[in-house]
Amino acid sequence: MPPSGHTRNRSGFKERGSGSRRSRSVPYKKRFVVALFFSVLFYLGIIALFTSAVAFFFASAEFKKISAEILIACLGISLVTWLISYVKRRGALCPLCKSTPFADNLARKHEKAFRLRPFNYGTTAILTALFLQRWRCMYCGTSFDLLKTKKKDQ
């Protein structure tokens, strides 16, 4: 229902377009930054694992042993960084609803939640936080900004 004439002319009423976002600040950014850091290390470990697997299958006979050692090392790095990343992502809680915005589960998502199609909601939140410095909680629908400072009480 569109706003009526008396509410449109009221002082302090601002019409917002669909493109404007009003993000909240994050009171404790360290947990989110650490979760992003270890998630990026995990993604880089996965890329190294796939690259070393391809190199192992296409390597000549004299380089098979070295490429196998690199493949095993990348597998170990990927497993360790996944474990640390998972623990850190579960520890980064939404300031509003106390859910885990970087770790997806089977709970019902908010209608404002979005995801990039090949990824799930948690990976989408990590990628948007990494590249845009903001993310939207998939459970409460509130967007948060890592660069926004906390307002002081007056």
Q: In what order do the strands lie in the sheet with 143-145?
A: 24-25, 143-145, 134-136
CA–CA distance, 23 with 20 (Å, rounded to integer): 10
Locate the domains of the chain by residue range: 24-145
Give 61-88 pLDDT, tens digit per residue.
778 888 888 889 999 999 999 999 999 9
What pTM does this model have? Answer: 0.72
Q: What is the dihedral of CA 102, 107, 108, 110, to 10 degrees?
A: -20
19-23, 48-52, 126-130, 140-144: least confidently modelled range: 19-23
**Cβ contacts of residue 143 below 8 Å, gap of 6+?**
21, 22, 23, 24, 134, 135, 136, 137
